[in-house]
Homo-oligomer: A and B are copies of this chain.
Amino acid sequence: MTQTSKTDNSSPRKRTRLPSEVRRQYILDAALDEFSMSGFEGATVERIARKAGITKAGLYAHFTSKEALFEALLDTIMLPVVTDDAWVLSSEGTLESAVDSFLDMLYGDSKTTRRLTIMRLLLVESGRNPQRVQQWYQQSYRPYIQKRQRALESYLRQHTSHTTLTSGQIALAFSPAVLAMFWQMIIGGESAASEIAAIKASHREVMLRLLSTD
């Protein structure tokens, strides 16, 4: 039998004992969910605990306070962004296929949801703890972006007449995806889908137009 999923919504009074590390991860997942949904103040330890499959008091066996849990969460979400598989524009193939894979990377894929949740968390909490978010930006996000940037530049150098790109130009290539992210965050999944699809299509069109020519 498979083990119970981490979000066991039913309410059997069974006491399930888990290794500390596993439970800890469940709690962190639940916390990401809650904090990004409701913000730090809006989130309740009770809900986080329930999502993690334990009671409020149980959570305190793993994290000493709500604040500490939040900090731990920020710590854990800072790493993966940098270390995930460095995407590289395939230097072979047509321009179209290169652009497509670039866009596929930017717009949704399997990891998008989680990344979106993290983004939402950071945005929502950027008011409460700006320094922490800046730190995240410096340590995690900026390197990530620069990696992407270098990949794009190296591709362009090889295949187009463009020689260098300003950071502003690079940013432009990402901006529609950021817009899409906002739509996704704000107006939710379904009604956002068409909007995003349209944006992506135009994004593709414009990129091709700008890159293809000379």
CB-CB under 8 A from A22, the residues of chain B are none
Say yes or no: is A155 at the interface (Cβ < 8 Å to chain B).
no
Instruction: Give the oligomeric copy count.
Output: 4
CB-CB under 8 A from A205, the residues of chain B are 169
Say yes or no: is A93 at the interface (Cβ < 8 Å to chain B).
no
Whether B39 lies near A127 (C-beta < 8 A) is yes
Whether A123 lies near B186 (C-beta < 8 A) is yes
Instruction: Report how far A137 CA is from B39 CA in the complex, Å.
Output: 21
A113-152: CB near B (< 8 Å → 1, else 0) gives: 0000000101110111010011001000100000000000
CB-CB under 8 A from A123, the residues of chain B are 120, 123-124, 182, 185-186
Say yes or no: is A109 at the interface (Cβ < 8 Å to chain B).
no
| Interface-lining segment among A66-74, A75-83, A172-180 | A172-180
A186-214: CB near B (< 8 Å → 1, else 0) gives: 11100100010111111101100110000
Q: Count the A residues whose beta carbon is within 8 Å of the partner chain — how many? A: 48
Please report whether the interface of chain A is mostly helix, strand, loop or mixed according to DSSP: helix
CB distance from A33 to the nearest CB of B (A): 10
Say yes or no: is A38 at the interface (Cβ < 8 Å to chain B).
yes
Instruction: Report how far A203 CA is from B36 CA in the complex, Å.
Output: 31
Say yes or no: is A40 at the interface (Cβ < 8 Å to chain B).
yes
Say yes or no: is A168 at the interface (Cβ < 8 Å to chain B).
yes
CB distance from A112 to the nearest CB of B (A): 15
- 10 shortest interchain CB distances as A-B pairs: A168-B198, A41-B42, A168-B202, A175-B179, A41-B41, A37-B127, A175-B175, A175-B176, A39-B39, A178-B179
